[in-house]
Amino acid sequence: LFDFKIILGKNGVPVAENFRLEQSTIADTIQAGQVRVRTLYLSVDPYMRCRMNDDTGSDYLLPWQLSEVADGGGVGVVEESKHDNLAKGDFVTSFNWPWQTMAILDGSLLQKLAPQLVNGRLSYFLGAAGITGLTAFLGIKEKGHVAVGANQTMVVSGAAGACGSLAGQIGRLEGCSRVVGIAGTDEKCSILVQEMGFDAAINYKKGHVAEQLSELCPGGVDVYFDNVGGDISDTVISQMNQNSHIILCGQISQYNKDVPYPPPLPPDIEKIRKERNITRERFLVLNYMDKQEASILQLCQWIQEGKLKVR
pLDDT digits (tens, 9 = 90+) for 78-89: 999 999 999 999
221 near 278, Cβ under 8 Å?
A: no
Domain-embedded: residue 118: no
Domain-embedded: residue 259: yes
Cα gap 98→105, rounded to integer Å: 9
Mean pLDDT of 224-247: 95
- 93 and 173: one domain? no
pLDDT digits (tens, 9 = 90+) for 8-55: 556 778 888 888 999 999 999 999 999 999 999 999 988 888 888 887
Of 3-7, 26-30, 72-76, the poorest mean pLDDT is in: 3-7
- 141 and 288: one domain? yes
- 71 and 151: one domain? no
- 165 and 101: one domain? no
pLDDT digits (tens, 9 = 90+) for 96-143: 999 999 999 999 999 999 999 999 999 999 999 999 999 999 999 999
- 271 and 145: one domain? yes
- 104 and 140: one domain? no
Domain-embedded: residue 311: no
In this structure, what CATH number is given to the domain that contains residue 259?
3.40.50.720
pLDDT of residue 259: 63
Mean pLDDT of 237-248: 97
- 59 and 150: one domain? no
Indicate if the pLDDT at residue 299 is higher than 80.
yes
- Output Rg (C-alpha) for the chain, integer angstroms: 21
- 147 and 99: one domain? no
Domain-embedded: residue 58: yes
Count of domains observed in the chain: 2
Domain-embedded: residue 129: no
Q: Confidence band (pLDDT; 50, 70, 90) for 3?
A: low
Q: State which residues form the domain around 158.
A: 135-305
Mean pLDDT of 52-70: 83
> Which of 113, 147, 162 is the last residue in one of the domains?
113
- 7 and 74: one domain? yes
Mean pLDDT of 245-268: 78
